[in-house]
Structure 1
Amino acid sequence: MSSVRSSHTRLAAARGPASAAALLDTSADLRHRFAAARQAGQRHRDAAASLGLSEGEAVALHSAAAGVPEHTAGLRSVRLRGPWLDLLRALEPCGALMALTRNDVAVHEKTGSYTGLAAQGPVALALGDDIDLRLFFQHWTAGYAVHEPARAGGGAPTLSLQFFDAQGSAVHKIYPRPATDLACWQQVAQDYADPVGTLPAFTPPPVPEPAPDDDGVDVAAFGQAWAGLHDTHEFHGLLKQHRLEREQALRLMAGRFTQRLPTDALRRLLHGAAAAAQPIMVFVGNPGCIQIHTGPVRRIEVMGPWLNVLDDGFNLHVRQDQLASAWAVDKPTDDGTVSSLELFDAQRRLVLQCFGARKPGQPESEGWRQLLQAVKAGR
């Protein structure tokens, strides 16, 4: 319990009165309030925030290390151990699963099998036909197998594997689907259960950095280096070499390689892709995971602030009101120009990217270029 309390204390200092009030409650009280928020329809992330907790802390509070009995009637979490790549590889025989990766603004859900998992330097990859991931395990601090009873009114319990970074933010989640081999799922959860299962020491989120200063940037040299790109994967190194934030770089190249667009560009692009049956790539990520959909989008719906793709096997949910900027971006490569739409939040963080569907070594399709050009023209 001391680890939970010390974590709450750090959060109280970082997050204010809501967390300070949470200190007055016992862990049992916090679990009761979390369950009430869930029954009221709040998602895990929002229910935790209502208690002044990170999502990882809320999940950890339901483990044996926080005093929860093994056969509790409520939500139960079991801490997992790595290696994380081995755990994900062990899921392949389970069949179809739903992979969920999100950030503060966008949620990406994709159904398929965890296949083609391999390490490539500091990055691991899942290169299945449907589950396509870039995994940065240095940001995976804790994992849990979670069993949550059905909500009032019926339904089945919810099973999941949930992985969190050092601040308790979810980097990746995995859920069974109707076709999942549940015996395989349970075996993986059992094989990777941490026999010690201590509470992780989550830390407060970092203070957002101020907007970068353009003073001292050699814009001409940066533009020349941009023009010399051979592959889109070189772009991150280019930013690092010139000590630029991503959105700052796009702004500095406006009119040459980039064009700023209204934030409704994403809605128009998705509707256009659906109408033209144009396959696209949709990237959503956080520091620990990037998840990719490649293929068509069909059912596009707006529900309040949420812009949604609601297709079989692929769901996307984006808070349109939290999009702060949108950019059309051109990058020269050995395969020709590769163009994209990039969306950022108010903290200048990359939220989502869209590309035309293509394989390495192939040029962009003319259909994608026409679609993006129409969006750039405001159509």
Structure 2
Amino acid sequence: MNTTLEDISKGSELKEQWHQLKAENPKLRTKNAADELGVSESELVACICDGETVVRLTEDWEGIIKEVETLGKVMALTRNESAVHEKHGTYQNISFEGHAGLVLDENIDLRVFHNRWSFGFAVPVENPRGTLNSLQFFDEAGTAVHKIYLMDEERVGKYNKLVEKFRSDDQTNEIRVKDSIKEKKTVSIDEIDTDEFLQKWSELKDTHDFFPLLRTFKAGRTDALRLAEGRFTWKISNNATRKMLELSSENEVPIMVFVSSPGMIQIHSGPVNRIKVMDHWLNVLDPDFNLHLREDHIAESWIVEKPTEDGIVTALEIYDEEHNAIATFFGARKPGKPELEPWREITNQLKLMEVGV
């Protein structure tokens, strides 16, 4: 899409508004500033694009992600409106096939849906420790899908080389985003054949088979949980996430934490140790893993069981009031291995936490 003089003028006007807002509140994060100014986060980043300090990148998402391996240790960040997932590690064992890619490092574990990405920028970010060089990616609605922060200062040269290699020819300071992204249509819960749906659920062989099951019946995620309540699912107290993290920490039970954006799923596998609550935020503050979760956004919490060839796999799933997934938690496990018994004990305790308690 061609950029017009009017577009550039709008970008310059937005830049002035942001500078004024930053002068009034220097610690305001980009995401919060975008919300306050009524624009998407990518529009706000684009308005300061100058081709030198902030650089727009090409849409070679596969090439960029593969090149991130040269940056050594980085911090990967994936967020949605209610949860922020931060993980330190290196991008290794990278592969792409069709509409999705994988990063399978011991610490950085990602499912990359790069066909949903539309904009990318190299952005210096100021924080209390100084300037962090970052790569930031957004979908066509301007929502952040993934961010990568350089942590090894000795790799700045590698970072600059990556930015130059994937520099876009278009370095204007305005982009056009879509108002919204159409989600795949689901049917009313009353239109789903409950008996057939639950029969197919009982025949699952792998947790990854659940999403095709939902598509087959055109079922919304929380509708599916309601249909299976009492057999495969249990609705529980919205205090369950805090309780689960505390029990996992106290009993040294390694867990898996999934947080997704419109174009990425980011996973932590391992222990959680330092659990801290600050205002509405429930936090995990460990050296290589941070989770920041808005407890006040949790509208529904469910224990969910899925049959697999390795036995029952149990998850804690939490949703906001619009039925968007906030985060999903499992006991840490590898394919071919049964679920950890200590994790099952924790989820059995959570089942006793009644809704509203």
Question: Do both share a fold (TM > 0.5)?
Answer: yes
Deviation of 1:42 after TM superposition, in Å, equals: 1.5
Residues in 2 aligned to 1:193 and 1:228: alpha-carbon distance in whole angstroms: 49
- What is residue 99 of structure 1 aligned with on the other side? 76
Q: Which residue of the other structure, out of 175, 195, 207, is the alignment partner of 2:169?
A: 195
Structure 1 segments of 4 or more deviating over 4 A?
Answer: 1-8, 206-212
Residues 356 and 158 of structure 1: is their aligned pair in 2 closer, same or farther, counting only changes over 3 Å? same
Residues in 2 aligned to 1:307 and 1:251: alpha-carbon distance in whole angstroms: 26
- What is residue 348 of structure 2 aligned with on the other side? 373
- What is residue 17 of structure 2 aligned with on the other side? 30
Amino acid at match of 2:261: N
Residues in 2 aligned to 1:139 and 1:306: alpha-carbon distance in whole angstroms: 29
Percent identity between the aligned chains?
A: 39
Residues 134 and 155 of structure 1: is their aligned pair in 2 closer, same or farther, counting only changes over 3 Å? closer
Q: Which residue of the other structure, out of 142, 147, 150, is the alignment partner of 1:168?
A: 142
Residues in 1 aligned to 2:216 and 2:324: alpha-carbon distance in whole angstroms: 19
Say whether the 8 Å CA contact 2:306–2:313 is kept in structure 1.
yes
1:351 counterpart = 2:326: yes
Q: Which residue of the other structure, out of 35, 40, 49, is the alignment partner of 2:35?
A: 49
Q: Which residue of the other structure, out of 226, 230, 242, is the alignment partner of 1:267?
A: 242
Deviation of 1:47 after TM superposition, in Å, equals: 0.8
Deviation of 1:134 after TM superposition, in Å, equals: 0.3
Q: Which residue of the other structure, out of 187, 203, 206, is the alignment partner of 1:231?
A: 206
Deviation of 1:377 after TM superposition, in Å, equals: 2.1
1:78 counterpart = 2:55: yes
Residue deviations 1:20-70 (CA, integer Å, cap 9, x gap): xxx79824422423433661x221100111111110000000113xxxx84
Residues 188 and 228 of structure 1: is their aligned pair in 2 closer, same or farther, counting only changes over 3 Å? same
- What is residue 249 of structure 1 aligned with on the other side? 224
Higher mean displacement: 317-326 or 186-195: 186-195
Deviation of 1:91 after TM superposition, in Å, equals: 1.5
Unaligned runs of 5+ in 2: none
Matches within 5 A, 1:1-379: 26-36=13-23, 39=26, 41-64=27-50, 70=52, 76-148=53-125, 150=126, 155-178=129-152, 181-198=155-172, 199-205=174-180, 213-378=188-353
Residues 56 and 28 of structure 1: is their aligned pair in 2 closer, same or farther, counting only changes over 3 Å? closer
Residues in 1 aligned to 2:11 and 2:44: alpha-carbon distance in whole angstroms: 16
Say whether the 8 Å CA contact 2:255–2:269 is kept in structure 1.
yes
Residues 78 and 25 of structure 1: is their aligned pair in 2 closer, same or farther, counting only changes over 3 Å? closer
Residues 210 and 115 of structure 1: is their aligned pair in 2 closer, same or farther, counting only changes over 3 Å? closer
Deviation of 1:342 after TM superposition, in Å, equals: 0.4
Residues in 1 aligned to 2:333 and 2:304: alpha-carbon distance in whole angstroms: 16
Residues in 2 aligned to 1:348 and 1:362: alpha-carbon distance in whole angstroms: 31
Higher mean displacement: 251-260 or 181-190: 181-190
Residues in 2 aligned to 1:260 and 1:160: alpha-carbon distance in whole angstroms: 39
Say whether the 8 Å CA contact 1:217–1:242 is kept in structure 2.
yes
Say whether the 8 Å CA contact 1:297–1:311 is kept in structure 2.
yes
Residues in 2 aligned to 1:3 and 1:231: alpha-carbon distance in whole angstroms: 50
Residues in 1 aligned to 2:11 and 2:93: alpha-carbon distance in whole angstroms: 48
Say whether the 8 Å CA contact 1:331–1:339 is kept in structure 2.
yes
Residue deviations 1:219-245 (CA, integer Å, cap 9, x gap): 000000000000110100000000100
Amino acid at match of 2:255: I
Deviation of 1:207 after TM superposition, in Å, equals: 8.6
Unaligned runs of 5+ in 1: 9-22, 71-75
Higher mean displacement: 204-213 or 222-231: 204-213
Say whether the 8 Å CA contact 2:59–2:118 is kept in structure 1.
no
Amino acid at match of 2:114: F
3-state secondary structure, aligned to 2:160: helix
TM value normalised by structure 1: 0.87
Residues in 1 aligned to 2:207 and 2:24: alpha-carbon distance in whole angstroms: 43
Say whether the 8 Å CA contact 1:123–1:137 is kept in structure 2.
yes
Deviation of 1:205 after TM superposition, in Å, equals: 2.8
Residues 269 and 24 of structure 1: is their aligned pair in 2 closer, same or farther, counting only changes over 3 Å? closer
Residues in 2 aligned to 1:105 and 1:164: alpha-carbon distance in whole angstroms: 17
3-state secondary structure, aligned to 2:64: helix
Say whether the 8 Å CA contact 2:14–2:44 is kept in structure 1.
no
TM value normalised by structure 2: 0.92
Q: CA RMSD, aligned part only?
A: 2.5
Residues 6 and 184 of structure 1: is their aligned pair in 2 closer, same or farther, counting only changes over 3 Å? closer
Residues 7 and 258 of structure 1: is their aligned pair in 2 closer, same or farther, counting only changes over 3 Å? farther
Amino acid at match of 1:365: L
Amino acid at match of 2:304: V
Say whether the 8 Å CA contact 1:145–1:189 is kept in structure 2.
yes
Residue deviations 1:238-295 (CA, integer Å, cap 9, x gap): 0000010011100110000000011111100000000000000000002200000000
